[in-house]
Amino acid sequence: MSRFGNAGYAADRKGTNMLRVVLCTVFLFASLGGAGKAVAANAAIATDGMTVVDGERVFVLGLYENPEDDEVLRQAAQAGFNLVRAGNSDALDRLDKAGLWSWVNTGYSIDLSENRDARVHELQRLVDTYGKHPALLVWEVPDEALWNCWYGPVTWRTVEEPRQQKEHIDKLEDQALAEELRLEQERVAELWRQGAYVKAETLANEIWKRLGLEPPRPDYGLTQSPSAADRMCAGFIDGYMVLQSKDPAHPIWMNHAPRNQIGQLASFNVAADAVGCDIYPVPQSGLVGHSDIADKSLTSVGAYTDRMQKAAPGKPVWMVLQGFNWADIMQGLKDEQREQLRPPTRSETRFMAYDAIVHGARGILYWGTAYVSKDSEFWDDLLAVVKELSELQPVLSAHHSARRITTTFAQTYGSVDRSIEVLPKDVDGKLWLIVVNEWSGPLAYTLHGLDGQDGVRYRAVGGGEEAVVSGGTLTLTLPGFSVHVLEPV
């Protein structure tokens, strides 16, 4: 199976100005069958953000799970995944044999804000060990690093520390003191709700002292998070420059949580060539709450794709989408809570992928499939969606058309606070149209701006719907949270 998917695509590269031109690296390696020669991939990022490998434009289709079962790996490769996580040389060899590229995570050796000499040495070791392997396509820095500067302290101060304090308070023989400390714990919680973090953390430290104990983590809290994030950001930028100088042949990718402000994200994104975030909104439920912006629905995928682009202008965005059921990874759920959770349907998985794409994503990766049974309907659905995306490599990796497409839609019963998003693509001299209905109900939409296309018949890939351009317009009906990939026929 080609790493380029089921439909390889050789793009016209005339006039393409690469942001990072990567020289071909050739090296000799020993395999079980003896010495052989392998050629490392030429990887670059075009000015429009698309990945270019060995002269071919590639839309990234990634899988976080590196399946131990060869049959599952074969299924993934056959579906069209082209990038899979690897943790060691054996994994890289195995992925290379399967015709897949891989990424390797640097861990916090990329953060040179402390232990600089040792971490620079570790970066050099990584480059020496993996940098010339033909399967390596990209380095990844620690996942959700910026968010963890905040999440760890918040979890400690609002969950773990109160729990530990309660255990000590419940053991006190002095019941009057115990009651006083319980009231102080309530006061700490109220201060947190008010945003008075300095007072909350100071009072929490005092509770430990009144228990006759030293605070376990007196300087670990939200009040220290800004300085911790700034320090890590500087360390990441330093590490990025070092790794880039040691291995200019592989881009560096940074994935964020669906959290933090644009300015914070932008500061960290200096230390990456490609960025993205993970967002897992199915089902929309108070139990999940993965999105913390106002949009909690499926369309939060597109909204976060927009946010990532704002936080990294000119850099490609690779979005990490939902490859699991929340019920399989959340601990301590009651039966009725588990019943409220479910994996995405095939339609939802397809919608989220295309919602990211129409908002500008140059790659999609899936996290969480390691928790999914490989004989489940969800796994089959995910493979089917990836197969469709892979077969559309010539379209997804093509240049966006400069044509300005506008939309209108017929009157309907709802508010229609979100409507139709359209991405036009120039493919071998033909105009393809990716249309996404972000509203929850069906919309009869009309595309305007198709001048010169009159008489061209468009057919929806996989759906059979057809329409003919007339007067520079095209009209079709699309169900809620659905997609038309319109092919000129």
What structural domains and CATH numbers belong to the chain?
Answer: 26-105+273-396 (no CATH), 152-226 (no CATH), 406-488 (2.60.40.1180)
Residue 252: phi, psi to the nearest 5?
-115, 130
pLDDT at 11 over 90: no
- What was the pLDDT predicted at 288? 87
Close Cβ partners of 457 (under 8 Å, ≥ 6 residues apart): 466, 467, 468, 469, 488, 489
Indicate the average pLDDT of the chain. 91
Angle at CA 163, nearest 5°, toward 157 and 164?
A: 90
Evaluated on CA atoms 137, 143, 149, 150, the torsion sign reads positive
* CA-angle at 418, arms to 415 and 422, nearest 5°: 140
360 in Cβ contact with 314 (< 8 Å): no
pLDDT of residue 254: 98
Separation between Cα atoms, residue 75 and residue 141, nearest integer Å? 28
Task: State the pLDDT at residue 26.
Answer: 29
pLDDT tens per residue, range 457-477: 999 998 779 999 999 999 999
* Cβ neighbours, 10 Å, residue 336: 7
Residue 70, pLDDT score: 97
Residues 6 or more apart whose Cβ sits within 8 Å of residue 72: 374
pLDDT, residue 41, reads 66
Polymer length in residues for the chain: 489
Which range, 5-14, 52-61, 105-114, 287-296, is most confident? 105-114
Bond into 344 cis (ω within 30): no
- Asked if the model's pLDDT at residue 401 lies above 80, the reply is yes
A 10 A CB-CB count for 12 gives 10
337 C-beta neighbours (distance < 10 Å), count: 15
In whole angstroms, how far apart are CA 189 and each of 148, 165, 200? 21, 13, 7
Mean pLDDT across 428-436: 97
What is the value of pTM for the model shown?
0.91
Which of the residue ranges 150-154, 286-290, 330-334 has the most confident prediction, judged by mean pLDDT? Answer: 150-154
3 pLDDT band (50/70/90 cuts)? low
Mean pLDDT, rounded, for 354-366: 98
Q: Is residue 118 pLDDT above 90, yes or no?
A: yes
pLDDT score for 42: 73
pLDDT band at 134 (very low <50, low <70, confident <90, very high): very high
Tens digits of residue pLDDT in 380-400 = 999 999 999 999 999 999 999
pLDDT band at 39 (very low <50, low <70, confident <90, very high): low
The pLDDT score that the predictor gives to residue 454 is 97
| 206 CA to centre of own chain | 41
Mean pLDDT on 119-130: 98
Q: What is the 3-state secondary structure (H, E, C) of the chain?
A: CCCCCCCCCCCCCCCCCCCCCCCCCEEEEEECCEEEEEECCCEEECCCCCEEECCEEECEEEECCCCCCHHHHHHHHHHCCCEEECCCHHHHHHHHHCCCEEEEECHHHHCCCCCHHHHHHHHHHHHHHHCCCCCEEEEECCCCHHHHHHHHHHHHHHHHHHHHHHHHHHCCCCHHHHHHHHHHHHHHHHHHHHCCHHHHHHHHHHHHHHCCCCCCCCCCCCCCHHHHHHHHHHHHHHHHHHHHHHCCCCCEEEEECCCCCHHHHHHHHCCCCEEEEECCCCCCCCCCCCCCCCCCCCCHHHHHHHHHHHHCCCCCEEEEEECCCHHHCCCCCCHHHHHHCCCCCHHHHHHHHHHHHHCCCCEEEEECHHHCCCCCHHHHHHHHHHHHHHHCHHHHCCCECCCCCEEEECCCCCCCCCCEEEEEEEECCEEEEEEEECCCCCEEEEEECCCCCCCCEEEECCCCCEEECECCEEEEEECCCEEEEEEEC
The token pair at 113 is 């804000």
Q: Could you tell me whether strands 83-85 and 101-105 are parallel, antiparallel, or unpaired per DSSP bridges?
A: parallel
pLDDT at 40: 62
**Per residue in 63-112, pLDDT tens?**
999 999 999 999 999 999 999 999 999 999 999 999 999 999 999 999 99
43: confidence class by pLDDT, cuts 50, 70, 90:
confident
| Rounded percentage of the chain residues whose pLDDT exceeds 90 | 87
